Structure 1
Amino acid sequence: MARIIYGVQGEGRGHSSRSKIIIEHLLQQGHDVKIFTSHKGYDYLSTIFDDVTNILGLGFVFDGGKLDISKTLQQNLQDGTIDAGKTMYLLYKTFKEFQPHLAITDFEPFVPYLKGLGNIPFLSINHQHIISQYHLEYPYKWRADYLRAKTIVDNMYWFADHYYVTSFYYPRAREMFRKKSTLIPPILRNEVQDRKLADNGPILIYATTTDARMVLDVVQKTKYQYIGYGFDEGSGTKGNITFKKTGTGEFLDDLASAAAVVTNGGYTLMSEAICLGKPVYSIPIRRQFEQMVNGYYLEKLGFGLYDLVPIRKRFLMFLEGLPYYRKNMRNDHSRRQGNTRLFKALDRKIEEIRLP
């Protein structure tokens, strides 16, 4: 069986949630996997797997509900100056002792450079490379945000043997990536797939930014009931909103029964909601192009609406259109989960490696 080093971007929860599913599959196949991650990724994965190492990770700085590019760069440069050398030495030491056959990364920037130490195969699995490897549609006024995001993604790493790009929308690949980049439908957690579905529960709101939380003033004036996660209110009820503290089990139950979902433009929850047939009202983080383009395609596909700042008239349009969005999702078979497809692709790649 193969010895694998697996890097996971630690910012947010989406990368680590997806990586958990894939790592569990690799372990079930009998492979030996060492995990390197940071921040929330380490906090999460270290409670599930034994062999998890905490390393330097990228962070993001937000100001007034939008991504602050200059402060983000400043913070990462300061942290990187101190810890990058330590992280690379730790990876080098692990490489020499572990002698991996393969490196995989979910947008973690250090593990890819193991390829140069022993010319081992290197695979990339994430959503972000859709920005740099595929022809995307977006409003022209987002051009500067797109170019910034593309520059960042291009420079994270550019030498993977193959890229598996998870997505609920399927744009055309750029010419140079048509043979080495594959679009994969969303990877769903077993906990999500196993839930009994309904669409008669309260609308689920998951909001962590200032702009997204502005939706409270909008929803309180509607006839629907809501469950809110990610707010400072803790638990309790305010008007037609029941606030809850984030907890995976109860959250997924509420997602499975929700009439619809209100969230930012983060890929993981949005894609899970779509796969479960839940219409989405998206409030992407401004200047974070990945979230913005996710919202754009959500609306283009007829699965919901997006606004960079909540607009009451548009939200009421969203509520009126719930049957229309559900019908579109029922008729779109491409939104189904891609777990099996990705697992088979990884198994084939590992079989191609000449193990000693």
Structure 2
Amino acid sequence: RALPLLWHRQRYIDEVSRLIDQFRPDVCMTDLEYFVPRAAERAGLPCLTLDHQHVITCCRHDLPRDMWWDAAIQGLTPRYLFRPTAENLIISFYAPPVLPRYKARIAPPILRDSVLALQPHDAGHVLVYQSNSTHRALVDFLRAATDRICYVYGYDRTEGREGNVVFMRKSE
């Protein structure tokens, strides 16, 4: 799906540019995506981002040595495919230090009312969301750290079990 979009990217940038000309905003704002920053740049407008991905490129991370290559590769997308933006609001549960060269701020996630209304309780298991399945040590850690069942979402495996670790499909 991405190739046809990129193949016709100029048409989409032109379309967004026309909308900017009609609407005449003072600033453009986007979640991490390709077209709005380019159209904003063309119009001479600042563009702000609101996303989690810039935590990769705008922040300093103390990673284990074997994770640096993965982090560098993941950082290529926001760094080179997308245009630089004037400022970044990074939504993240954790707040690593922002690198001085970036105008970025980290804010906690905005949670739905249905999530906030939930009462914490011990259901006898551990819920794990893993957005990067390249780090095998997570599964080994969970197997060694607890006897409780660990439901892991977001890993490259979507079914099956290894000891107390159960792999699940992503879902809302």
Q: TM-score, normalised by structure 1?
A: 0.37
Give % identity: 19
Of Structure 1 and Structure 2, the greater helix share is in: 1
1:196, distance to aligned residue in structure 2 (A): 3.0
Tell me the residue number matched to 1:191: 114
> How many Å separate the matches in 1 of 2:16 and 2:99?
32
Q: 2:47·2:86 contact (CA, 8 Å) conserved in 1?
A: yes
Structure 2 spans left out of the alignment, 5+ residues: 151-172
Q: 1:107·1:156 contact (CA, 8 Å) conserved in 2?
A: no
2:37 paired residue among 112, 130, 147: 112
Tell me the residue number matched to 1:246: none
Deviations 1:289-336 (A, max 9, x none): xxx6xx9xxxxxxxxxx62xx34x73362346x9xxxxxxxxxxxxxx
Query: Does 2:112 align with 1:261?
Result: no
Deviations 1:29-57 (A, max 9, x none): xxxxxxxxxxxxxxxxxxxxxxxxxxxxx
- Partner SS state of residue 201, structure 1: coil
1:171-320 aligned at under 5 Å gives the runs 171-177=96-102, 180-193=103-116, 195-201=117-123, 203=125, 260-263=126-129, 265-266=130-131, 284-286=132-134, 307=138, 310-311=139-140, 314-315=142-143, 317-319=145-147
Structure 1 residues 149 and 262: alpha-carbon distance in aligned structure 2, compared to 1, 3 A threshold: closer
Structure 1 residues 106 and 81: alpha-carbon distance in aligned structure 2, compared to 1, 3 A threshold: closer
Amino acid at match of 1:160: T
Q: TM-score, normalised by structure 2?
A: 0.71
1:144-183 aligned at under 5 Å gives the runs 144-177=69-102, 180-183=103-106
Give the root-mean-square deviation of aligned CA atoms: 2.7
> How many Å separate the matches in 2 of 1:161 and 1:106?
13
> How many Å separate the matches in 2 of 1:86 and 1:138?
40
1:138 paired residue among 41, 60, 63: 63
- Partner SS state of residue 14, structure 2: helix
Structure 1 spans left out of the alignment, 5+ residues: 1-58, 60-75, 204-259, 267-283, 287-291, 296-305, 323-356
1:158, distance to aligned residue in structure 2 (A): 4.6
1:190, distance to aligned residue in structure 2 (A): 2.4
> How many Å separate the matches in 2 of 1:185 and 1:97?
34
> How many Å separate the matches in 2 of 1:158 and 1:175?
19
